[in-house]
Amino acid sequence: MFKKILIANRGEIACRVIKTCRKMGIKTVAVYSDADRSALHVEMADEAVHIGESPSAKSYLLIDRIVQACKDTGAEAVHPGYGFLSENKAFQTALAKAKITFIGPDAPAIEAMGDKIESKKLANKAKVSTVPGFMGEIKDVAHAKKIAKEVGYPVMMKASAGGGGKGMRIARNESEVEEGFLRSQSEAKSSFGDDRMFIEKYIEQPRHIEIQVIADRHGNTLYLNERECSIQRRHQKVIEEAPSPFLDEKTRKAMGEQAVALAKAVKYVSAGTVEFIVDTKRNFYFLEMNTRLQVEHPVTELITGLDLVELMIRIAYGEKLPFKQKDVKINGWAMEARVYAEDPYRNFLPSTGRLVRYLPPEESKTVRVDTGVQEGGEISVFYDPMIAKLCTYGKDRKTAIAHMRDALDAYYIRGVSHNIPFLASVMGKKKFEDGKLSTNFIAEEYPDGFSDKDLPAKDPVPLVAVAALVHSARMHRAAAITGQIPGHGRKVPDAWVVVVSGHGSDDVEHKVAVTHGDDGFASGRVKVGKATVQVASDWTFTDTLFVGEIGGAPVTVQVERRGVGYRLSHAGAQLDVMVLTAREAELARLMPHKPPPDLSKYLLSPMPGLLVSLAVKEGQDVKAGETLAVVEAMKMENVLKAERDGVVKKIHEAPGASLAVDQMILEFG
């Protein structure tokens, strides 16, 4: 077996590969950029090599630097992870030339499947079902309009070298083709260095279901069942599961066999994924083949009991697959939720900064956390904002969802915005619970974007009870301390007023009575209005999670002290409260409320990023809906448009400027 492997990647996937290498007794080499000097994958690896500046084009995408790192450290093989150079044939060729093993497919297979236009032609030859469309390269906007009209609206415009949702747009009419084609082409050039585009028919209400394949160099090619990846936003997967709640055994077998046929047609070796779109009648069409390990591979591992990274390493070393197709089973159900540093309340704009507190849920037989960050680490503007992949496992789908809800409640992140409230909301949607999924799920369930109203309606009594119990416990501790000083003793009241902040509406007051139990201040009887609940927990003053039972039902609540108040988080919802005495509440009602500043005159950057272009100049009249600027963040271009008619009074930033979140770009007169 290999003695040393270099991981040509970063973040959670680098950490994931290192874990398997440790299990196999293989030493590891990490590579890192300036921004990743203190990253978790660097800390975990046996050795680490600096390969360049923070932008990926000046570090993780430099083939010669990585090959040299292999030579300098004596690494015999390279695992590319996903993204970056994982599907770059030139990288595989350069490694082969240096007599270093690439843990993945050979260059011809990467080339054949990496080009979406050529891969569709090959799929047709292999008798794999494909989506109707134009298989050639689109020359320009005029050509795109012509092809779209011939294929028939709606159409999907895609970058030939694309992936991860970048360089993709749906167009339902000619004007959407005109704008979307240029945006997609620009994104493709920025992300992949290749702006070739193609167009295919967009299938309404599709499911995105993919087949995991694995192949060795001894003629064995197998499929490891499917993954349902239909919950997507901007063509980026958000939640994946295995198996699919939609497929029957007949369709699963047919899709698996077609995936194997395609893999054999290109002499595929290693782990790969054949993606399909499936319509409401279970007709399926080839979408693309990813010649690498997928982000969502853990759900396949959880239901099959296989370690895909280990299989990739063993195949690369020349070993045979140790099982046959008949041995591949489906045991239980697995879910994966991608936890991102992004703000779901601001249209999912990426969030960067330091992880001031980071406490993922404890791993167990039912919970798995694949992460590449740690407390104190930095979420950089240079890379994908993924924090972790949270996976849960259960005997069936309902159980896996229940475990996911509990794990999301226990995921404690502070310092950057994150999408956990959104993930909790998806888990609570009836259509999701019923398995009625499509790639339109998010657009249909959140037509106006995500907001607090999308969170499951919750009885406020449990959280109000926790707040009152925690605050009362703190006051009892303070009284016990000051009571030891002559003349400073004080009595803690049993009655409180819990004021829940309205966030734009009126505050809500709850009259609460607390009776602590004999087994500690974190347990007792709490009366909220006319309701009385029994609370039991072993919470202590240093705990960030209040884990226990309320009214006999298990509950996990994040409790954060914020000045004189508390912030409680549960089921995706946040509750800002103050626990006051009756007199304090009376005085609080008299406090004036400062109105928020009027920002309607300004165009502010909604995210940290690069100001790519300005479409207006000072003194120009603009109409509502007119494009004002384009800001690029995380390789995605975001078009900022005027919300109302106005006149541009002053431009504060020029194209090329690096913007902070809420930085002023221009102002209106």
- Locate tokens 């300005």: which residue? 614
Q: CA 274 to CA 262: how far, in whole Å?
A: 8
Measured in Å, how far apart are the chain's first and last C-alpha atoms?
70
Phi and psi, residue 600, nearest 5°: -65, -15
Cβ atoms 602, 646 nearer than 8 A: no
Catalytic: 288? yes
Taking 3-state DSSP, the helix, strand and coil percentages for the chain, each rounded to the nearest 5, stand at 30, 35, 35
Please tell me the distance from the alpha carbon of residue 154 to that of residue 193, in angstroms, as a whole number: 27
Choose among 258, 368, 221, 209: nearest CA to 303: 368
Active-site residue (options: 187, 200, 241, 288): 288
Instruction: Give bridge partners of residue 633 from the DSSP assignment.
Output: 636
How far, in Å, CA of 194 to CA of 90, rounded? 14
Q: What is the DSSP string of 541-574?
A: TT-SEEEEEETTEEEEEEEEEETTEEEEEETTEE
Interstrand relation of 412-414 and 646-651 (parallel, antiparallel or unpaired): unpaired
CB burial of 442-476 (b: ≥16 within 10 Å; e: otherwise) equals beebbeeebeeebbeeeebbbbbbbbbbbbbbbbe
Contact call for residues 106 and 267 (beta carbons, < 8 A): yes
- Both tokens assigned to 667: 């102002």
Q: What distance in Å separates the CA atoms of residue 117 and residue 137, rounded to the nearest whole number?
A: 8
Sign of CA dihedral 405, 406, 409, 412: negative
* Cβ atoms of residues 195 and 182 within 8 Å: no
If one counts every other C-beta atom within 10 angstroms of the C-beta of residue 430, the result is: 8
Distance (Å, whole) CA 152 – CA 146: 10
Task: Write the single-letter amino acid at 350.
Answer: P
CB 49 within 8 A of CB 7: no
Inter-CA distances, 634 with 236, 385, 610, 631, 650, Å: 13, 8, 10, 10, 28
Q: Active-site positions?
A: 288
